[in-house]
Amino acid sequence: MQSKQKFILTGVTFGAAGMMASPALAQTMDVTITIPRLTVAEYHKPYVALWIEQAGKPARTINVWYDTGKKNNAGIKWLRDMRQWWRTVGRTTPTPPNGVTGATRAPGAAKISFTSGKGGMPVLTAGAYTLVVEAAREGGGREVVKVPFTVSAAGTAKGSGKGSFELGAVSLTVRR
Amino acid sequence: MLKSRKSLLLLAAGAALALSPVAQARQWLLPSETMFTGAGNEWLTVDAANSTDLYYYDHPGQAWDAVVTAPDGSVIPVENRMVGKLRQVFDVPIAQGGTYKISVTNDMVMGSYMLAGEKKMLPRGTTPANLAAAIPAGATDVQTAEANNRIETFVTAGEPTTSVFTAGGKGIEMIPVTHPNDLAVGEEATFQFMLDGKPAAGIDVVAIPGGIRYRADIKQMDAKTDAEGKVSFTWPEAGMYWVSASIGGRRGGGEGAGGPPPATPPQPEAPQRRASYAMTVEVQG
């Protein structure tokens, strides 16, 4: 039973009970993350990890922003500075796959869309989830913002949260 | 249950026993990092010390020989070992993925014998290995007890593994139910303690967060192992914690400090079996 549930969460099955897998009804999650503008002498854009938690299921990384421009991909050395992400899910895949990684982003509001079943993004069946966003900045602080949300039977949801120093407002919309 | 340092001191001062009011020093291994990326070229550095406050250096440095067990079971030699006036330091290359164990064990034998009508104590530094040589021919009424001390810490490169957790040795050992490199604030962690390879039921275990020097409350958590030797803690804050269990000696037998005196005082001739265990674990916030 456990393995079947896991399989459903990966979202690559066809015809699993209770799932709407039709590509025409592709589920999308839009996430807006605000990186605050900080007046510090030496500013480095933060590493940011986004993952989805659901009770009783393995956490799923959907996006990791890190310094992708370093020689030999050396930027992955500091992924563990996102300590909650590293402990929860990051260390199971120390080199995150291409589909979930991205470059660090400048201060401001970043809007990202995730399509269920693509990259690390699972299909979200009806139920309670938490989007966790963790930011770690070199020479700065680290902050985790949790955004709980409930996906309806129609496969939609809304949620928001707010950080106080390394992260600003975080909001999400799940739509079909 | 949190216990303040003040009440501990009052308790000790009020006890009618020959308890030293000065807290016994704590032995520890402090890792520079517990979660490694697993790139293969990383370094761990470890401080090893005996101190009153966690984690500061306030006692003479110890010439302990640390044994580092790698995830594949091999023993990794430490590098840059330095025994200073107040601490020992050494480095460990982290080349493999998985969980490493760093441990210091010390097995001693205490006791006495009668020779020509006179009672003689076994000399300091007697171990199970040299015990036979320490007892002269013609000695009678030989009474001995072992004291086994173990100090550990664990670090993990990439995903945690469990190959280094084995019990079957002497003294107190820890077998994780919750992996010691998978601890987080607000979550309950369970550890099983073994004595001479068997579950250590009903022994006292304490957990104390580091940083004692800059707070008034020692924030000690006390627990007792169940019939299977298991004990659980829920971590109130992030940081390094010192988790320790012991039998015999001044730290052992929590009831000795406040409970009624035993009906028959222990015979001075019979030395008490002692064993202690201490590990440093990191709780993520």
Nearest CA in chain B to A76: B37
Residue of B nearest to A87 (CA): B182
pLDDT greater than 90 at residue B280? yes
Please state the pTM of the whole predicted model.
0.83
Query: What is the Cα–Cα distance from A174 to B207, expressed in whole angstroms?
Result: 43
Q: Note whether residue B50 is domain-resident.
A: yes
A83 and B156 in contact by Cβ < 8 A?
Answer: no
Residue B41 pLDDT more than 80? yes
Question: In chain B, which residues have their Cβ closer than 8 Å to the Cβ of A94?
Answer: 37-39, 158
B235: in domain: yes
- Please check the confidence at residue A93 and state whether its pLDDT lies above 90: no
Number of domains composing chain B = 1
Report whether pLDDT(B13) > 70: no
Instruction: Measure the CA–CA gap between B75 and B155, rounded to whole angstroms.
Output: 15
Percent over 90 (pLDDT), chain A: 77
How sure is the predictor about B81, in pLDDT bands with cuts at 50, 70 and 90?
very high
Residues of A in contact with B98 (CB under 8 A): none
Q: What is the 3-state secondary structure (H, E, C) of B161-230?
A: CCCCCCCCCCCEEEEECCCCCCEECCCEEEEEEEECCEECCCCEEEEEECCHHHCCCCCEEEEECCCCCE
For residues B114-133, average pLDDT: 92
- CB of B37 within 8 Å of a chain A CB? The answer is yes
Range picked from A3-7, A70-74, B28-32 for highest mean pLDDT: B28-32
Closest CA to A66 of A85, A53, A52: A85
The pLDDT assigned to B259 comes to: 44
Q: Residue A96: what pLDDT?
A: 80
- Over 60: is that where the pLDDT of B133 sits? yes
pLDDT band at A18 (very low <50, low <70, confident <90, very high): very low
What's residue B7's pLDDT? 47
How does the average pLDDT of chain B come out, rounded? 87
Q: Kindly state whether A77 is in contact with chain B, defined as any CB-CB distance less than 8 angstroms.
A: yes
Q: Give the pLDDT band of residue B122 (cuts 50, 70, 90).
A: very high
Higher pLDDT, B268 or B206: B206
Helices (H) and strands (E) in chain A, counts: 2, 9
Cβ-defined contact of B37 to A87 (cutoff 8 Å): no
B160: chain A residues, CB-CB within 8 Å: 91
Q: What amino acid is encoded at A109 in this protein?
A: A
pLDDT digits over A113-169, tens only? Answer: 999 999 999 999 999 999 999 999 999 999 999 999 999 999 999 999 999 999 999
CB atoms near residue B172 (< 10 Å): 25
Domain that holds residue B243: 2-12+26-256+272-284
- Higher pLDDT pick, B20 / B100: B100
Q: Which amino acid is at B217?
A: D
**Best of B37, B42, B159 to mutate (most A CBs within 10 Å, chain A):** B37
Residue B261 lies in a domain: no
Residue with the bigger pLDDT between B131 and B169: it is B131
Q: Is B258 on the interface with A (CB under 8 A)?
A: no
Record: contact B39-A80, CB cut-off 8 A: no
Q: For position A162, what pLDDT does the model report?
A: 97
Average pLDDT, chain A: 87
Write down the pLDDT at residue A1.
36
How many domains are there within chain A? 1
pLDDT, tens only, B210-231: 999 999 999 999 999 999 999 9
Strand A101-103 and strand B239-247: the pairing is unpaired
- Residue B243 above 70 pLDDT? yes
Model confidence at A3: pLDDT above 80 = no
Q: Which residue of A has its CA nearest to B183?
A: A87
Q: What is the pLDDT of residue A8?
A: 38
Closest to B210 (Cα-Cα) out of B104, B6, B53, B97? B53
pLDDT at A2 over 80: no
The interface predicted TM-score (ipTM) is: 0.78
Among residues B281, B280, B273, the alpha carbon closest in space to that of B110 is found at B273
Quick one: CA torsion of B83, B104, B276, B106, rounded to 10 degrees? -80
Residue-wise pLDDT for B254-272, tens only, equals 433 344 555 555 545 578 8
Q: How confident is the model at residue B250 (pLDDT cuts 50, 70, 90)?
A: low
Q: Are B35 and A86 within 8 A, CB to CB?
A: yes
Band of residue B169 on the pLDDT scale cut at 50, 70, 90: confident
Q: Average pLDDT in the A39-62 region?
A: 95
Q: pLDDT value at position B24? A: 72
Contacts of A79 in chain B (CB under 8 A): 37
Q: What is the mean pLDDT of residues A58-85?
A: 93
Q: What is the pLDDT of residue B269?
A: 57
Interchain contact, B159 vs A84, CB within 8 Å: no
Assess whether pLDDT exceeds 50 at residue A80: yes
Q: Is some CB atom of chain A closer than 8 A to the CB atom of B184?
A: yes
Has residue B20 been placed in a domain? no
B6 has a pLDDT exceeding 70: no
The CATH code of the domain that includes B217 is 2.60.40.10
pLDDT at A37: 95
Kindly identify which residue of chain B lies nearest to residue A90, measuring between CA atoms. B158
